[in-house]
Amino acid sequence: FEATSIKEIKGMTCTSCTNTVESALQAVPGVHKALVALATEEAEICYDPRFASANQLIEAVEDTGFEATLIT
């Protein structure tokens, strides 16, 4: 089972920010792939919903100090 989830992440101003958020998302158990785009403020995440939930992904982003909202 694999789901793709896209979130809006506010407040990122450089590629170092996106790397921080990407690393945080990739560290969540069940996440296979996380891609964060600076220009669109969106994250594309492939994860196994048996091990990770959308809320956990939001929390992982907010733990890095950015605001995240689910857009799909």
Count CB-CB contacts under 10 A for residue 10: 10
Site string for ligand 9UX, 35-64 (x = CB under 6 A): ------------------------------
Least Å distance between CB 19 and ligand 9UX? 8
Stretch that binds ligand 9UX, among 9-17, 30-38, 40-48, 52-60 (CB under 6 A): 9-17
Q: Cα separation of 72 and 63, whole Å?
A: 21
Closest CB to ligand 9UX among residues 16, 72? 16
Count CB-CB contacts under 10 A for residue 49: 12
Residue with tokens 């296979």: 32
